[in-house]
Amino acid sequence: MRLIKIALVVAGLCAATAFASPTAPRNGAEYTTLKTPQPVQAQGKKVEVIEFFMYHCPACYALEADMVAWVKKQGDNISFRRIHLPLTGENDPEAHLFLTLEAMKLEEQLHAKVLQTWHVERKRLKSDADNIDWAVKNGIDKDKFTATYNSFSVMTRLKNAGRVAATYEVNSTPTIIVDGRYLTTPSQVDAANPGTPRAQLNAATLQVLDALVAQARAGKK
C-alpha cells in the first residue's frame, strides 16, 4: 500500500510538470504580479514592456538577439524600453553611460556597440574615464558627452535608479516587466519548466512574454 501511495504522488508530480508550459504561464511560477502596479508610458492599446538589464550581464547578452527580434515582431502591439539596473549604487558607471546615451537619444543606436565592447571585445567600462574614452572612440563629441554625463538631469536619474528598480521589485537581470504589472525572468521560466534545454530557454521566455502581452491587451478592451 505504501508503494502504491508513493507511486501516485510521483505520478501526480510528473503530471503537474507535464502540464507546465511557457505558452500558458502561471502567476507565481513563470511570472509574478507586482504588489503595486506601476504607471505605464505606453499610449492607447499598446502594452509597455520594460527590460531591466546590465551591460556586463552575460544572461542579458545571451537574450539580446532574440529579444530584439521579438520586439521587432511585436510591431505596434508594444512600447519597448530598457532600464539599466545600477549594480554598484548611485555612482554605477554602467547605468551612468546608459542614462547619458539615452539623454542624448543615442541609446538605441549604440546599445549593440556597448554590448559588443563588453562581451566580444572584452573591454570593461568600469569608470567615468572608461566611458568618456569609449564615447569619443565611437564618434561622440567629447564636450557634448561630458556635459550630458555631468548634467543635473542625468545625475538625478542615476541617483534615483535604485529606487526605480525597487519600485518594480527588480533585483536581478534580465528582468522583464509587462504592462507595469507582470514580472518574468528567464530563471523563473527555467525553474517553472525543469528540463528545458538551455538553448531553448530564450524561446520559452519569449513565449511567456507573448502570453503576458496578450493578457495585458485583453485587459485594455
Domain coverage including residue 50: 24-85+171-221
Is residue 1 one of the residues assigned to a domain? no
Give tens-digit pLDDT for 6-57. 333 333 434 334 455 788 999 999 999 999 999 999 888 899 999 999 999 9
**What confidence score (pLDDT) does residue 4 get?**
41
* pLDDT score of 43: 85
Note the pTM of the prediction, 2 decimals. 0.89
Same domain, 96 and 165: yes
Residues 164, 182 within the same domain: no
| pLDDT at res. 221 | 67
Q: How far apart are CA 111 and CA 122, in angstroms?
A: 16
Edge-to-edge strand list for the sheet holding 182-184: 32-33, 182-184, 175-178, 47-53, 78-84
Mean confidence (pLDDT) of the chain: 91
Count of structural domains, the chain? 2
CATH number at residue 148: 3.40.30.10
Retrieve residue 148's grid coordinates: 550630458
Same domain, residue pair 48 and 143: no
